[in-house]
Amino acid sequence: MTKKLIGVNELAETLDVHRSWIYSRTRLQGVGQIPHIRVGKYVRFYLDEVMEWLQKQQGVE
């Protein structure tokens, strides 16, 4: 089964945050970095991995 990749715009809409917040989280190192992959110059996300990451962040912050 293949997981679907989503882009910054779709993730920002899903999480109801600004695109700049998404981009800033991709540049962080360590725990605060949102899980992502780069496809050439593009940043893509697996939604299930991001949601799992958010759950973990609630316990950290």
- Report the alpha-carbon distance of residue 20 to residue 22 in Å, rounded: 5
Q: What residue type is 27 in one-letter code?
A: R
Task: Give the pLDDT score at 1.
Answer: 59
pLDDT at 61 > cutoff 60: no
Task: Give the pLDDT score at 32.
Answer: 87
Sheet order of strands, 5-6 included: 5-6, 42-46, 37-39
Burial class (CB within 10 angstroms; exposed 0-12, middle 13-18, buried 19+) of 34: buried
Q: What is the pLDDT of residues 5-45, one digit of tens each?
A: 999 999 999 999 999 999 999 999 988 899 999 999 999 99
- How many CB atoms sit inside 10 A of residue 29's CB? 6
Task: Give the pLDDT score at 57.
Answer: 87
Give φ, ψ of 42 to 5 degrees. Answer: -95, 150
